[in-house]
Amino acid sequence: MEFTAQTIADFLKGTIEGNPQETVTNISRIEEGKKGTLAFLANPKYEKYLYSSEASIVLINRNLKLEKKVNTTLIRVDDAYQSFASLLNLYTSTLPQKKGIDTNCHISDSASYGKDCYIGAYTFIGDQVKIGDNVKIYPQVYLGDKVQIGDNTTLYPGVKIYNDCIIGKKCILHASTVVGSDGFGFAPGEGTYQKIPQIGNVIIEDNVEIGSNVSIDRATIGSTVIHKGAKLDNLIQIAHNVEIGENTVVVAQAGIAGSTKIGKNCMIAAQAGIVGHISIADEVKIGAQSGLSHSVKNNGEILLGSPAYNLSETKRSMIIYKKLPDMYNKINELEKTLREIRENIK
């Protein structure tokens, strides 16, 4: 589809600098901009490309001060990154939507689904499953008995949702994610481990997006809960009875052990590990590869390292780490001097 700068600016409530009738039919990265494409500039590190980009239209922040002349039509907006995301959402909404039920799938007679659904080939839908309107279920998805799927949710190929789990509205679960597998519960005996049945479920609230190959364990008793607006990256492990707060972001390869409660608007970076049975306050940030072994009571705290400590404490420690070789040499010199003094005294 073709859009003019004026149309885009009207949609984004932006201000045009250049030709309002400039047109684009595709998008590009600003460093690879070509005639007929739209790009955006949000990260200051890429500003140098703005002055050489051949993109026909570039979205920039309103407060950006240009260092020199540009050869492209600019649209100034409050937040270039969010505006670009809005345009992508507008574009994807115009694409053809899959609908219909493939003949090569199994749907239990006691299951139900709403209008305008798509159910792909080799999907299995168990007894008493309830599926809302406009749900997209791609091939080879498994829905166990009594699963509930809310309106406008998308399940990509190979998603497995075990019995009794509940998925809210406008959720996206990417390929090969597993929801509701057994939590890791075993009672140690004399050289053996007795399995503890996991009889709870998983509840995923509205507007949650989960990446590919994520494992979310069902609760031993009660529910493992992912609250509304949370975003989970690929390759994450969420153990039984974990609770993740609203709009919290968890990045790739993080692991959260059982019964941990995480607050709202938190950010957990890649490969972070969090032990079980602790609580984390709202708006907490945990750095990449951190190992958190204690509860965090203060909102907005930032933690780094393994074991994870408060950011200011970690920075002080890092300064000392850098000085350790010099301190080691000074200690050796002091010990040498002390030995010489003792020998002279003798």
Q: Give the contacts of 129 (CB within 8 A, at least 6 positions apart).
A: 108, 111, 112, 143, 144, 145, 146, 147, 148, 149
- C-alpha distances in Å from residue 311, one per residue of 267, 269, 278, 295, 319: 14, 14, 19, 15, 12
- Can you tell me whether residue 123 is helix, strand or coil? coil
d(CA 56, CA 74): 9
- C-alpha distances in Å from residue 14, one per residue of 3, 7, 17, 46, 75: 15, 10, 10, 21, 6
d(CA 265, CA 247): 5
Listed residue (72, 73, 68) closest to 7, CA to CA? 73
227 catalytically annotated:
no
d(CA 273, CA 299): 19
- Can you tell me whether residue 185 is helix, strand or coil? coil
Q: Select which of 106, 174, 240, 277 is catalytic.
A: 240
Listed residue (38, 49, 46) closest to 77, CA to CA? 38
List, in sequence order, every beta strand (DSSP E) within 31-140.
37-40, 57-61, 73-77, 100-101, 106-107, 112-113, 118-119, 124-125, 130-131, 136-137
d(CA 251, CA 259): 19
Locate all alpha helices (DSSP H) within 211-310, ordered by sequence.
none
d(CA 105, CA 123): 5
Instruction: Write out the catalytic residue numbers.
Output: 240
